[in-house]
Structure 1
């Protein structure tokens, strides 16, 4: 039986048995629902500059800092990166907030082969101003086991086959599973991607991340507990993988200082 291709949540499918590539990073939520204004005030969109094309998601964690995945930003610079906040729409919206980027800090041990240490923080030049649509989220510091309901949000296609990215932010509630269960479900060919610093979710086939949600937040109890990292596209009955924020709590707080 052909082994499934694991890809980073920027999600363009990799050939069976292929090597994950930074160019493959874009993910989408399949089986989710449209968000409403103010539902995810911490959600951001990482954009190219000057085209302002969305390439990854992320979370506001303080006035100056956002949290995302290293595979989103490892080859980027502040000059060609922008952040959009305060809107649930990729294009349009009443009051989108555009910020220039002053620095990008990727985990120094980011491993593109095993998709490990997939965490970064990005600083904006002008601080965010809090409003109903722009708010920080707490950086989780408690270990989350299996059986917890968590929410993931992001932009992108909504079909298992991909499709056009919706303009409206999408979200879905998922169940966390233990890393042992995640390794079993991933199978012998892909279990190596489930390192201790990951957290996995799985509910059922037809629900999950796909191309374009990379770097986006997995949240529970008012905290961001995971960063969208990888999956087998798209919502085909395999777990979704996130970097475990509690594992990186100290690194995040040490590097996201004003």
Structure 2
């Protein structure tokens, strides 16, 4: 069983009635409440100006669902699974919107609404493949110091230093930060990724999807540092070139020391370019 927002439920770990791993120590619990994506850090204001917070709700009650990246002044790229639950006849529910231009999704920034969307025609929610989609804004935003376009990297990436930003849970206790978090990670070679996912599957997720390295790229930091709920759709950026190389897609239970999976930008070059040309 898996959640579409990045994470699967781990059926192999014993939990208390409050949902805390029974083996968790007091020191571990203190770390759960540190203000960061599991293992990440607060970003400086203006860091990652391409980041988009995708939300649902109104001015009274709203929740952050996913991240995304601004790829044109009126186009956001994100994960396909971030969009599917909000489809209605004729488009998307009007409670579905986004905030751009701020590292705090709850204050500041600019609210933007959507008039159209695109989901990859071969999106497979069972195997979690081709997990890429786009949201078209009702009007173009004005770029600024705090609002910039993500530059796509269509070269095949092997092992290199990278970083991911997001507003996802900072712990398995479902704490979601208002402030954007960043985590430095390393991308793995396809062979290393496949082997590590195979090893993780034997412990955490026996029916985990297979890894398709032509359209997926994975990262790994360490146990206790990785993606969690709410980070889906967020951009994986190359630290060497500053370009986007992936879109956060799926992972094992938050930061279990198993690779996190991203849709590989180079694997969707034709699709990405075809959608961007429409806008």
TM-score category by the smaller chain? 0.7 to 0.9
The 8 Å contact of residues 40 and 183 in structure 2, kept in 1 or not, is answered as: yes
> How far, CA to CA, are the matches of 1:76 and 1:231 in structure 2?
22
Shift of the alpha carbon at 1:193?
2.9
The residue that corresponds to 2:184 in the other structure is 173
Shift of the alpha carbon at 1:199?
0.1
Q: TM-score, normalised by structure 1?
A: 0.86
The 8 Å contact of residues 218 and 260 in structure 2, kept in 1 or not, is answered as: yes
The residue that corresponds to 2:20 in the other structure is none
> How far, CA to CA, are the matches of 2:209 and 2:64 in structure 1?
30
Q: What are the equivalent positions in structure 2 for 1:126-205 lying under 5 Å apart?
A: 126-146=139-159, 148-159=160-171, 161-187=172-198, 189=206, 192-196=209-213, 197-205=215-223
> How far, CA to CA, are the matches of 2:220 and 2:74 in structure 1?
33
> How far, CA to CA, are the matches of 2:62 and 2:180 in structure 1?
17
The 8 Å contact of residues 6 and 233 in structure 1, kept in 2 or not, is answered as: no
Indicate how the Cα distance of structure 1 residues 191 and 92 shifts in structure 2: closer, same or farther if over 3 A, else same. closer
Indicate how the Cα distance of structure 1 residues 33 and 150 shifts in structure 2: closer, same or farther if over 3 A, else same. same
> How far, CA to CA, are the matches of 1:193 and 1:213 in structure 2?
21
The 8 Å contact of residues 42 and 179 in structure 2, kept in 1 or not, is answered as: yes
More strand by share: 1
The 8 Å contact of residues 10 and 55 in structure 1, kept in 2 or not, is answered as: no
Indicate how the Cα distance of structure 1 residues 108 and 15 shifts in structure 2: closer, same or farther if over 3 A, else same. farther
Q: TM-score, normalised by structure 2?
A: 0.80
Shift of the alpha carbon at 1:68?
0.1
Structure 2 residue 234 is matched with structure 1 residue 226: no
Please list every run of 5 or more consecutive structure 1 residues that lacks an aligned counterpart in the other structure.
17-27
Which of 240, 243, 247 in structure 1 is aligned with 2:263? 243
The 8 Å contact of residues 7 and 233 in structure 1, kept in 2 or not, is answered as: no
The count of aligned residue pairs is 239
Residues 166-198 of structure 1: CA deviation (Å, up to 9, x unaligned):
111101010000122111111264564311310
Which structure's CA Rg is the greater one? 2
> How far, CA to CA, are the matches of 1:29 and 1:181 in structure 2?
24
